[in-house]
Structure 1
Amino acid sequence: MNQKITDGVYLNILQTNQFKTVRLTVQLIAPVTADGMTRRSLLASVLGASSQAYRDQVAIANELQAMYGAGFNMNAYRQGNLAIFSISMRIVSPQYLRDTIDLQEQAIAFIGQLLLHPDVVDGQFNPVIFNREKENLVRYIESVADDKQSYAAVELRKLYFKDATQQIPNYGDAADLATITPDELYAYYQSMIANDRVQMTFVGNIDEAKTVADLAQLPFAPRNVELPTIFYQQSLYPQVQTKTEVQTVQQGKLNMAYQMPAYFYQADYYATMVMNALFGGTPLSLLFTNVREKASLAYYASSAIDAFRGVITVQTGIESRQKDRVLEIIEAQRQRIIAGDFEQAVFEQTKLALINQFKSSLDSAAYLGQQQFNRLFVPETEIDAERFTQAILAVSKQAVQEQAAKMQLQAIYFLKGVDTDEA
């Protein structure tokens, strides 16, 4: 149950004895903006590096160690139309402690120190910390450009999405990053703390009344937050968007984006999951077995669903001269699914693989916490293993065929090796 602490601030507790740990997560949620992703990514680094109480990462590490080796993470990411700034901790469940230390209270205080009492000097983030973390993020973005598989994924995203807010990756944009100053980032931080919806999620064996009392250490002021629907929906292009880029690479990267009108736990979602797993989402898939293994046309070939943005992407690493042949055989695999030309045994094994993957995920407190979060915005989100199993097993061959037919190719990005024959 999602409990209102004050306007725009909520607490969700998943009471369970499944784990020997307690997971605490605080998420600040706002609509995605083009410049916001970069600032949130940099904030995650700056706030996680120091605070008024913990002047450096050694002090932070020492405090975590004093809390019986507590785990801590701070990051920024996107789900559809929502930008999420997340702080999470993992602590030993109180009943397993021999002494009387109040570990939960300490953990909440630790989150409060880093999130609400940052290392600020003269109305701006400590320039020494800011500059170091900004440079680290610059180097990370540069490393993504050097990883050509990741680079191709970023370029496909730019090609496919019409909305600039959807084009930018979770870690942000290098050109935007270059413009950010310590005082400007601090102003953005203040706005985020004051205006974002706050969602706190606790997973474990938890005393609810004590938790509410402990949260007084996180004095979030009331706020009036209007959030868009989580799902991003894009109109179709009249023709496929294509881009070819030439670089000195050994292995060509051919990536594709299909619009797929099936969203997270909405109509046809289960059928789409099975269809994608058959198409390229598992080692049993047609892309893996026929494009990579049998035809030897790709070093790797797979597909993935972004169920918050209604898109299926295909990623391949190929010899550049084989581009047209690879495009043909990928489409041939989709047509095979449409025609129902796949083995019943593979169909059933694919379903079982999805079910086993889901059941395994339920052993993760982080996954359960994220599912609790998702249910706030997508009430149909299912976390019950039995109902998930029944829904997947109920997916018919015809339903999978219909979903494959609904895939509409919208973008093709090709990173071509400069020293190869024309593709």
Structure 2
Amino acid sequence: MKKNFILLFLSASIIFFGCREKIVTVEAEKNTNKGGLLFKIDKVNAPKNVVMVEAILSRTDFDTVKASLNLVTETSADLALNNIPIGAWQLNVNAYDSLQAIVYAGETVVNVQDGIITQVNLTLIPTSSGLGSIYIYVNWGKIPTTAWNDFELNPILPSPISSTPPLRCNQPKVLYDDGKFKMWFATFKYGFAPNTGYAESYDGFAWNVVKENLFDLQKNDSSSYSRWDANCVIPGAVIKENGIYKMYYVGFINSSGEWHIGLAESKDGISWERYPEPVLKANSTEYQISAGDIIKINGVYFLYYSFRYNTISTMPVQFTGGISLATSTDGKTWKRSETNPILTKSQGWEVSRIYYPSVIVENDRYDMMYMDGSGTGFGMASSKDGYTWTKTTTRPIFTLADTKGAKAYEVVYPFCRKINNKYFLYYSSASNSDMLTITIRVAVK
């Protein structure tokens, strides 16, 4: 696949799996085991200059298979291929403009398997000039248990629409809703309070920043600065219930003082109303708290959050801490777990502390990903009930060595979700040695 292209926020997503509509049949005498591919194209969000997409499957000693879809004249966005002999095929995808010139191109190897759905995602990635590329990610019909596959064109944010100085962003929270990936993330600009940005994507890789600052934190009236969250609103966890988005966020007046967790609600994910008081306050044990993730099981909300306490007896002052849990039946009144903290540092690689939990529940099993205190990697823990946790690895499952794309200088703030049978790991990194350029990246498995 062609690499080293400038990522813009214009994209289209194509998905292949097995097969109906506009069928192209391949006769093969050498192999009676067959598979199928289905192209699903997001016509609405395809680049405006693309009118046709062509897929070419080639393999030694087999007939070449070609199929195309006209995005202008065809009413359907589906294109199926049936009776493809199993095995490894070279896949080339070209996108043409109205003059029949190729404006995007990409290639990979697809492994057609008997009785197993083969899924291939393609993202059309334009450049500032010249031929655009198509990033291809292959999922062989089941979630692999091997290492994470980091996106070769990382970072995915900031977006080119950011103003000067460039947007610094981290701490992504992603929700798949109404056929879209929706991301809320922390934004940082010199001279401004930390805020929350919002972006959307159709494939999880190419993002369009809708709005960089969702909250007005720079009002000059005294009432604004009397709020407990006047100088920070950073997203901690976002869920949607009964058509209402709920964001649990970290807020404070002074970054060196207490941090609390607040609640904001929205009908569209963009315009938010904050509750006047925190829903979970810091205390003498948990001096600064930050919401990491939230799940709801059998009518009970589980809020997993990070905490830090200030060890003022040491000089210089150090922050240590871990991960705690609070539960609620209404999402507003919270009770800290009696067994807090539920997870703390216990392994050498975790350095001074662990924090920033991200939790997934599958088949009555709870899995948590977390980061270490120095930004060197992510660890894993599991639980049977969401209360009692055990670390499942003795070393990080994702480190700097696993990153691709632009050079990363740390890996921090993991957020993991399973979407359309794939695991997406969104995380943050500094992209230069002075740590001034903060970006958001993605890996999949």
TM-score by length of 2: 0.23
Instruction: From the two aligned structures, give the one with the greater strand fraction.
Output: 2
RCO higher in structure (CA 8 A, sep ≥6)? 1
Instruction: From the two aligned structures, give the one with the greater helix fraction.
Output: 1
